């Protein structure tokens, strides 16, 4: 039977995803063009952009121009913000990378035979499926499957710096394999969790979906932690006899 806390968690999860999708719809490429209209050459920078925003500031190696070394677009297009904004941007860019990969990886769509009133026929391609909706569905499914080191919902983790660990894990999955520095065990050097938890996905789309799902959990955990810290501390009154009341 669903508990109240489960309902609250599900509501929070939906709200976080809705916010990320709103950011995704407003994303632009390095030429200020809509993110879904950038060229294939420029699109290779989408996933690294997501990873750069996912990394905690202390984990980003930067150049003389102060942009992360993994940022593949021109320096002026990089802009650091507060951590909440960065995580939302990271997740939004992750969604964009997954959508772009799914679109470019599609097989040519079959054609339709259209019969005109005069009896002649013409051929046209079938309408493009709802790729963004399909990708979002995969993200939702994967987010619901995530568990932390203790087997619970990672958005409720009590482990120290769990949010940074998840953000780094997300960055590892979002980065293309050629940009991931790896150790002898084939686990990314940036991986901040036990090695056995790294999943070597054979499909790039699965990696991107995993990265976005981890970022959603990170945002949820950040919200929960902030809410907890903002609560007033409980007040204990000690009477003259030394008994707590």
Q: Is 161 left (phi over 0), alpha (psi -120 to 50) or beta?
A: left
Query: In the prediction, which pLDDT does 105 show?
Result: 75
Let me know if 206 is exposed, middle or buried by CB neighbors in 10 A (0-12, 13-18, 19+). middle
Matching residue, tokens 């902030």: 226
pLDDT digits (tens, 9 = 90+) for 125-162: 444 578 999 999 999 999 999 988 888 888 888 888 88
What's the pTM?
0.81
Domain boundaries, the chain: 4-229
Q: Residues 180-236: pLDDT tens digits?
A: 988 878 899 999 999 999 999 999 999 999 999 999 999 999 987 775 554 443 433
Length of the chain: 245
Tokens (6 digits) for 230? 């903002």
């Amino acid at each position: 039977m669903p508990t109240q806390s489960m309902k609250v968690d599900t509501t929070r999860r939906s709200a976080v995803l809705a916010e990320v999708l709103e950011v995704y719809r407003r994303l632009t490429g390095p030429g200020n063009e809509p993110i879904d209209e950038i060229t294939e050459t420029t699109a290779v920078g989408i996933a690294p952009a997501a990873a750069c925003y996912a990394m905690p500031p202390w984990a980003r190696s930067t150049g003389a121009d102060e942009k992360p070394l993994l940022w593949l677009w021109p320096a002026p297009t990089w802009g650091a913000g507060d951590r909440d904004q960065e995580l939302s941007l990271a997740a939004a860019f992750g969604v964009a990378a997954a959508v772009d990969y799914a679109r470019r990886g599609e097989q040519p769509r079959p054609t339709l035979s259209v019969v005109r009133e005069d009896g002649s026929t013409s051929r046209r391609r079938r309408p493009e499926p709802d790729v963004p909706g399909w990708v979002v569905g995969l993200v939702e499914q994967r987010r619901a499957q995530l568990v932390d080191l203790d087997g619970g919902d990672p958005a409720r983790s009590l482990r120290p710096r769990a949010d940074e660990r998840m953000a780094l894990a997300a960055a590892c999955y979002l980065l293309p394999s050629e940009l991931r520095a790896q150790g002898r065990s084939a686990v990314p050097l940036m991986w901040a969790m036990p090695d056995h938890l790294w999943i070597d996905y054979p499909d790039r789309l699965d990696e991107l979906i995993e990265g976005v799902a981890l970022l959603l959990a990170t945002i949820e955990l950040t919200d929960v932690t902030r809410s907890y810290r903002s609560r007033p501390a409980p007040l204990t009154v000690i009477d003259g006899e030394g008994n707590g009341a």
